[in-house]
Amino acid sequence: MIFDWDYFWGALLTPNRSFLNGLSLTVLISVVAMALALILGLIIALMGRSRFLPLRVIASLYIWVIRGTPLLVQLVILYTGFAAANVFRFEDVTIGVLIKGAVQAAIVGLMLNESAYISEIVRGGLESIEKGQTEAALSLGMTPLAAMRWIIVPQAVRVMVPPLGNSFNGLMKSTSILSIIGVAEMFQIGSTMASSTFKAFEIFIVVALYYLLLTTVWTVIQTWIENWLNAKAGLPRAESVWKRLFGMRSRRDRVAPKNPLGDLEGAAA
């Protein structure tokens, strides 16, 4: 097999309209699904912290089931299984633009899957704030909701941004399996092009590079968000994009490892 460099560079630098549509759909599904997953994940996390046992049980069962089953299986059940069982069918709808049923199922499936993980991130972020701050807010006459809104959440957000950013990166890459339910995202478009041109190696390298571009752009955005939050809190800047992507560290960051016997030697002296 001979690698077709001309075709590779052409597909990489001047992608056709079909590929660009798949790229746009990948980004759109990722952003919408993540936004909805943040809302649902916050609700599930708050249910898990509720004083009412039924709410805590529902939240725990939801997280257990969603995290314990593969996303691929969830998508097939949601789109194909429910329709076959006459439970629910995703139909094409038009809201200014045509939204196909498969795209709706993809957004809902990714939202449900990601929200289970996000709820745990939110729970960890909220629990990282000392309980004394909530008690102090309540003692000043604030309601539990107001204390959560003005005292706890603003501090917890800074803790939650890094893992949430990583979740979004993973969600974008997970869109590559949406072809199983017929979503014409970037991977499926690439598969179609590979089948028609017999340039599978070239095409899938191009697809991989575009996924790499998407995750790199998000890494830059995430770094900016973290630095902005740290600046508002009066904290040092987060690691630079170069450090995150390539592990590059300046000389001042290279600290010699501490001798584990140093303290014992000093004590013995």
What is the pLDDT averaged over residues 123-152? 86
Predicted confidence (pLDDT) per residue in 24-79, tens digit: 999 999 999 999 999 999 999 999 988 899 999 999 999 999 999 999 999 999 99
What is the pLDDT averaged over residues 189-217? 96
Predicted confidence (pLDDT) per residue in 241-261, tens digit: 788 778 765 555 555 445 544
Residues 6+ positions from 61 with CB-CB distance below 8 Å: none
Of 8-12, 52-56, 134-138, 217-221, where does mean pLDDT reach its minimum? 134-138
Cα–Cα dist 49/76, whole Å: 31
Q: pTM for the complete prediction?
A: 0.86
What is the pLDDT averaged over residues 218-223? 93
Q: Is position 269 within any domain? A: no
Q: Is position 22 within any domain? A: yes
CATH number, position 237 = 1.10.3720.10
The DSSP element (H or E) to which 97 belongs, if any, is strand 97-99
Domain that holds residue 30: 5-248
Into how many domains does the chain fold? 1
Q: Is position 258 within any domain? A: no
Q: Is position 259 within any domain? A: no
Residues 6+ positions from 219 with CB-CB distance below 8 Å: 165, 169, 241, 244, 245
Residue 48's CB is within 10 A of a number of other CB atoms, namely 20
Q: Which residue has the higher pLDDT, 95 or 180?
A: 180
Contact 239, 214 (CB under 8 A): no
The answer on pLDDT for 166 being more than 90 is: yes
